[in-house]
Structure 1
Amino acid sequence: MKINRRSFLASGLAVATGATLGPTKARAQEGRAEEVELATLLDLSKCIACGACVEACRETNGHKFPQPKKPFPKMYPAKVKAADWSDRQDVDDRLTPYNWLYIQTATGEYNGRPFELNIPRRCLHCQNPPCANLCPWGSASKDSRGIVSINDEICLGGSKCKDVCPWHIPERQTGVGLYLKLAPSFAGNGVMYKCDRCRDRVALGETPACIEACPEGVQTIGPRDEILAQARELARRTGGFIYGDTENGGTNTFYVSPVPFDVLDQAIETGPGKPHLASVGNPFEKEELLARAVYAAPVVGLMAGVLHLVRGATSEDDNE
């Protein structure tokens, strides 16, 4: 069998990532082998922008939100700026460390007819997430349920996850996290935050808060293969379009819209905290990025283990 460089690197990434897990975590993953990767389908024709999902997300996940200590340490070099949302926690028209879900509204014309569509935006929970594969500290990860999350106990706020995310989803809050105890003037300057798809609720067999609260049944959650089949059938039946099945190599969030997503992308406001809807290719088709992930994986695993130990030691000091 002929093995080209890309397939070699891809297999190397899988091996390297597994090698960094360590026996304890590896056994835990084996014990969860029966768990199914979940995905969500959002039928955009149903969303009325009532905001119930946004409010439910805030109420359910509020205990995870940052509580920064002020004044913030002075950072060196000075170009490293503080990211402080603690006095703007009520902002709900974009993604912030305190607002993990918001509604984008797209208005325009398609095929000679006006449209207005509301689009709940949050992390798409990629199948092969660059944020998890390229985080230098191993604080971002994807679990067996298909949930991509950031461990706020070891995240140093370096923003690599945001840089490599095609939609730049994670947001930073300064004045919280392990950096304050390690190198407050030189480390990453906070912690990165984003939707974790209510992973604590999902672990208990419950439904994510945004889905449960929606009065219009916009979202459906279930095994990924079933949800993708539903998304494709809905698109076929309605003449609609899908976003998320191939973007970034495939995600666990599927939008179905009666309007093409390139049209929607031109009709929405984009920028900081307001992700686009443009087409996104698979980043790991680029050999340079794939190789970087392969070669970094053992170091990332080691750093994550070290930071867990440091976190444990500093917690013990705090309790003394």
Structure 2
Amino acid sequence: MKMQNKRKKSRRKFLQSSGIIGVSTLLGVQTFPLSSCSKKEGSSQTIKVLTPEGKLMEVEANQLQEVHHHKPTSSKESRKGIPGKKFVMVVDLAKCKNARECIKACEAHHNLPPDRPFIKVLKIQDNPQSSPYWMPKKCFQCDNPPCVKVCPVGATFKRSDGIVLIDNQLCIGCRFCMAACPYSARVFNWGKPQPIGNSKHAHYSPETSTPSQVGTVEKCDFCPDLLREGKLPPCITSCPNGVLYFGDANEDAVTNGVDTVRLSKLLKDKAGYRYLEELGTEPNVYYLPPVDRLFPFKE
């Protein structure tokens, strides 16, 4: 519990300093219906509210709960990105023990079936003399993305904030982007998507990647729908070992939900590198070498 409180406080402090938090206030919050009033702790005061059906009711103030109503981002708006941001991720290979909580959280948020994960955790052994280690791998959100260049219909695109997205309403399923991606980061929807229980994802937006459509391509998207609400991607907050750091390169700050650090200092001090740097794709995901490991390798 103490660690969870520390994680929440540190995360909020990072979001406030980087300017991510506060975006949701620009989207507007209604306060008159019963489901949209602010919660007041420890109060027996009663408040008259108007229900969505138009009925006037009197309820205790401490029973009210604030609900934010976010309008799904349109396909046109999703191409612009969040102004002033340059999102980046750092993966500390010394901390990963293949807990796979990041995969579970990602699947839950994107309503993914187990056979089409956006995140893969690979067993890597650089040579016969070295010990193997675990390597989480997802889309690298390249600044020079070959996937974008080969798409014949403009379904996949690069945003101003560094994120590469796919508009499945435009995707024709040619899979040219899958062939062009050197990281094998994309998946193809061969089968019927799972039913969606979360109404938030009922209406399609490239920023949520849901609902999925048969015959289209998908991938990790850095969860821009959550970033607009001032929240971190679920893969970051779900990792029990703080393997994944996320933040804004323009602010030179990243966090794993507990620790918030300078991106430049972290990469310099830990000898950070980018996977397959020689390809010239300029990815926005960095790795820290698996030295001084927290856990012994186990299958």
TM-score (normalised: structure 2):
0.55
- Give, in whole Å, the separation in 2 of the partners of 1:193 and 1:25: 18
* Aligned counterparts, 1:160-171, within 5 A: 160-171=176-187
How has the CA–CA distance of structure 1 residues 44 and 115 changed in structure 2, closer, same or farther, with 3 Å as cutoff? same
Instruction: State the one-letter code of the partner of 1:218.
Output: V
Instruction: Tell me how far 1:232 sits from its aligned partner.
Output: 5.8
* Aligned counterparts, 1:254-265, within 5 A: 254-258=286-290
* Aligned counterparts, 1:73-84, within 5 A: none
Matched with 1:132 is 148
1:43 and 2:92 correspond: yes
- Give, in whole Å, the separation in 2 of the partners of 1:148 and 1:120: 19
Which of these residues, 219, 223, 242, is aligned with residue 198 of structure 1? 223
Q: Which is higher, the Rg of structure 1 or of structure 2?
A: 2
Partner deviation per Cα, 1:213-265 (whole Å, 9 max, x = no partner): 11111111122252699566445434x45124945331111111147xxxxxx
Instruction: State the one-letter code of the partner of 1:142.
Output: K
Percent identical among aligned pairs is 27
Contact 1:126-1:248 within 8 A present in 2 as well = no
Partner deviation per Cα, 1:68-97 (whole Å, 9 max, x = no partner): xxxxxxxxxxxxxxxxxxxxx434xxxx3x
Instruction: Tell me how far 1:204 sits from its aligned partner.
Output: 1.7
Instruction: Tell me how far 1:175 sits from its aligned partner.
Output: 5.8
Instruction: State the one-letter code of the partner of 1:161.
Output: C
- Give, in whole Å, the separation in 2 of the partners of 1:35 and 1:236: 24
Which of these residues, 164, 175, 178, is aligned with residue 148 of structure 1? 164
Contact 1:232-1:242 within 8 A present in 2 as well = no
Instruction: Tell me how far 1:60 sits from its aligned partner.
Output: 0.8
Matched with 1:249 is 281
Partner deviation per Cα, 1:109-130 (whole Å, 9 max, x = no partner): 58x6x42321111111101212
1:57 and 2:73 correspond: no
- Give, in whole Å, the separation in 2 of the partners of 1:150 and 1:47: 29
How has the CA–CA distance of structure 1 residues 227 and 244 changed in structure 2, closer, same or farther, with 3 Å as cutoff? farther
Contact 1:231-1:242 within 8 A present in 2 as well = no
1:157 and 2:182 correspond: no
Instruction: Tell me how far 1:197 sits from its aligned partner.
Output: 1.3
- Give, in whole Å, the separation in 2 of the partners of 1:137 and 1:227: 36
Instruction: Tell me how far 1:100 sits from its aligned partner.
Output: 0.7
Partner deviation per Cα, 1:287-311 (whole Å, 9 max, x = no partner): xxxxxxxxxxxxxxxxxxxxxxxxx
How has the CA–CA distance of structure 1 residues 234 and 109 changed in structure 2, closer, same or farther, with 3 Å as cutoff? farther
- Give, in whole Å, the separation in 1 of the partners of 2:168 and 2:102: 23
- Give, in whole Å, the separation in 1 of the partners of 2:175 and 2:127: 37
Matched with 1:104 is 122
Instruction: Determine helix, strand or coil for the equivalent of 1:42.
Output: strand
Instruction: State the one-letter code of the partner of 1:157.
Output: G
Contact 1:106-1:117 within 8 A present in 2 as well = yes
Matched with 1:273 is none
1:116 and 2:132 correspond: yes
Matched with 1:90 is 114
Matched with 1:85 is none
1:215 and 2:264 correspond: no
Contact 2:95-2:241 within 8 A present in 1 as well = yes
Matched with 1:4 is none
How has the CA–CA distance of structure 1 residues 116 and 139 changed in structure 2, closer, same or farther, with 3 Å as cutoff? same
Instruction: Determine helix, strand or coil for the equivalent of 2:132.
Output: strand
Matched with 2:32 is none
- Give, in whole Å, the separation in 2 of the partners of 1:109 and 1:249: 25
